[in-house]
Chains A and B, each alone.
Chain A
Amino acid sequence: MSGVALRIWLLHPAPASRRQARLGRWYRAWRGLSRNGLAMAGLFIVVALVLMAIFAPLIADRAAVTTQSLATRLQFPSAEHWFGTDELGRDIFARVVFGARITLTIVGLVSAIVLPIGLGIGLPAGYFGGWPDAVLMRLTDIFLAFPRLVLALAFAAALGPGIENAVIAIALTAWPPYARLARAETMTRRDAEFVQAAVLQGASHGSILFSQIVPLCLPSVVIRLTLDMAGIIVTAAGLGFLGLGAQPPAPEWGAMVATGRQVLLTQWWVATIPGLAIVITSVGFNLLGDGLRDVADARSA
């Protein structure tokens, strides 16, 4: 199939198969996104980050992450150490590269906890309405009114410092917006004709929720998640900076900024470079999220 024929097939107003419809939808979203320069820049940053995390051992020397060398500590960036060395003589470049793995792990784990909780509370609330809705949404409102960082801090303090507990702490304070979103999306769809058709066919509530409603909620939930990623990364880095996230010698970016703080005035690069990594990553997710939201808004408008 030539390129033009493929495009016509993808954009066909009356797709002949489910696959054609789905691919066509993806293609239209992609066209919308690729016209947005800033969103593409964001996508580039995020993809680069993921590739950097996956291929970290090929980009940098894994041993250099933890190898201490007091003779070459606090060196200015050079050909040998691109980003210089830290207070224990470890190569900052290698630590930043491998740090991407920690950041992505945190983001992935938080998403893996937040999505089920958010959907698990929002879907039944929106679908059944009535008192389950009232109870579940009251619970959500309570959690929504909590100070997020402080609560994450208290959780992390109670559970003990560590990456798993930082993840739990962030996730426990991050789910309420997703519950609200899933509820709103479900409410607009629960009376739709295709849902009634499924009911008439004898489908159970569970199967309607999972096979009819969840797939339709997912796009907006995923967009929201992309927009939240930056916040999650910055919060995680903050916990790391305070010493409540990943523990040394793990190359967590926030913790690296914290160690660089002691030598800030004389060896500025130790704190500055991992911080830049946080900023670039967070900018990338924000740009991508903004772009995805614009595409979704344009479609629904």
Chain B
Amino acid sequence: MAGPTIGGGRIPGWGIVRRVLRTLGSVTLTFLGLTVVTFFIGRVIPIDPVLAIVGPKASNETYDRVRAEIGLDLPLPVQYWRYLLKVLHGDFGTSVITSQPVLRDMLDVFPATLELAVLALLIGVVLGVPLGVVAATHRGRWQDHLIRLLSLFGYSTPVFWLGLIGLLLFYAKLGWVAGPGRIDVGYDDMVPTVTGLLTVDALLDGNSEVFVNALRHLVLPASILGYLSLAYVARMTRSFMLGQLRQEYVLAALAKGLSHGRVVWVHALGNVWVQLITVIALTFGSLLEGAVLTETVFSWPGLGLYMKNSLFNADLNAVLGGTMLVGVVYIGLNLISDLIYPLVDPRVRGQRR
């Protein structure tokens, strides 16, 4: 289907408008899908929410009254509509454990998760991309095989196990890093919370002691997650680079007399970044969802640990709230990579899909 035309030519910019509208449409649909799924999970849970409030000894009248109060007697679509409105207002209910609004709890713990994920992603990209490039330019040689084995081990290893082994080696045996947790107990609350990122807050406060301590706690989980991200980033970079190095422009640039290094690292890699954006967004997403396992292993007080603890205290509001939050970030990451794509790659700009 073609866009509106003026005198036979397409209106300039119509393609990008279409693209944005399309993306927004699919984001809305995905978000609605996410709410349907969390709503459904909330319904199928075997615990009777009314019973949880009134207790087993309540009379039938009390039971029915409470049931009507929380709206469980309404038809399912109406209940869903109410749920959707609440979610849109950021109301995920109250946590049973902390008796605070779930949203507030999540905002409290999310920076810890973010700090870990961002550092891990940095490590993964800064090391993973060059490794992938080297593997591609040395295809079939020992460098390629070594990097391939390194990433194979990375995406085959469960994060919770690697975390435990890391703690055993680098904390217990070698004493290079600090143990589980985000900071030693003695340093708790020593710097004012500004960003929620402990290392940044310590720097802002000029408190080097807290900074060093926080960093010593951060470095092991971040390195392990960084390694796992590196595995995926390097593998994808390698396959994207191989695709580019086969192109004729590479041959043309070499024939023109450009140095091999310049062709590989500037020309070919420059084209690969476009594809890598999606990979990086996906990696960040998997770091966030993997937080449940990582944070359990490292007793890291972030969203993952919050969800895990809620899970085992039947705090369904908190679990579903966390699922929503991670889901929304996921959708956001997809959206960003979709929207950045045409900015980085002029070929996609205005192109109809």
Contact = CB atoms under 8 A, between A and B. Distances in A.
A254 B164 CA distance: 12
Interface string A246-273: 0000000010010011001100100110
Interface in B27-72: 29-30, 33-34, 37-38, 41-42, 44-46
Interface residues of A, number: 43
A242 B312 CA distance: 10
B99 interface: no
B160 interface: yes
A264 B322 CA distance: 29
Interface in B153-194: 153, 155-161, 164-165, 167-168, 172
Given A141-B26, A147-B285, A242 B311 contact: yes
A241 B157 contact: no
B290 interface: yes
B33 A275 contact: no
A170 interface: no
A88 B143 CA distance: 45
B293 A242 contact: yes
Contact of B158 (A147, A237, A286): A237
A279 B159 CA distance: 10
Contact of A286 (B37, B152, B160, B327): B152
A233 B26 CA distance: 31
Most buried by B among A138, A142, A261: A142
Contacts of A261: 164, 297
Nearest to B38: A154
Tier of interface size on chain B: 35 or more
Given A145-B330, A150-B322, A275-B164, A283 B29 contact: no
A157 B158 contact: no
Given A238-B293, A286-B156, A150 B331 contact: no
Interface string A279-290: 100110011000
Contacts of A286: 152, 155-156
Contacts of A151: 37, 323, 327
B216 interface: no
A275 B158 contact: yes
B229 to A, nearest CB: 15
**B contact patch SS:** helix
B41 to A, nearest CB: 4
Contacts of B326: 147, 150
Contacts of A275: 158, 161, 164-165
Contacts of A264: 164, 167-168, 172
Contacts of B33: 139, 142-143, 145-146
B197 to A, nearest CB: 22
B288 interface: yes
A98 interface: no
A159 interface: yes
B320 interface: yes
A150 B327 contact: yes
A283 B330 CA distance: 28
Interface string A128-154: 000000000011011101111111011
A272 B165 contact: yes
A278 interface: yes
10 contacts: A146-B33, A149-B292, A154-B319, A158-B42, A158-B316, A237-B161, A238-B160, A261-B164, A272-B165, A287-B152
Q: Closest 3 A-B residue pairs measured CB to CB?
A: A275-B161, A142-B33, A282-B156
Interface of B: 26, 29-30, 33-34, 37-38, 41-42, 44-46, 152-153, 155-161, 164-165, 167-168, 172, 285-286, 288-290, 292-293, 296-297, 307-308, 311-312, 316, 319-320, 322-323, 326-327, 330-331, 334
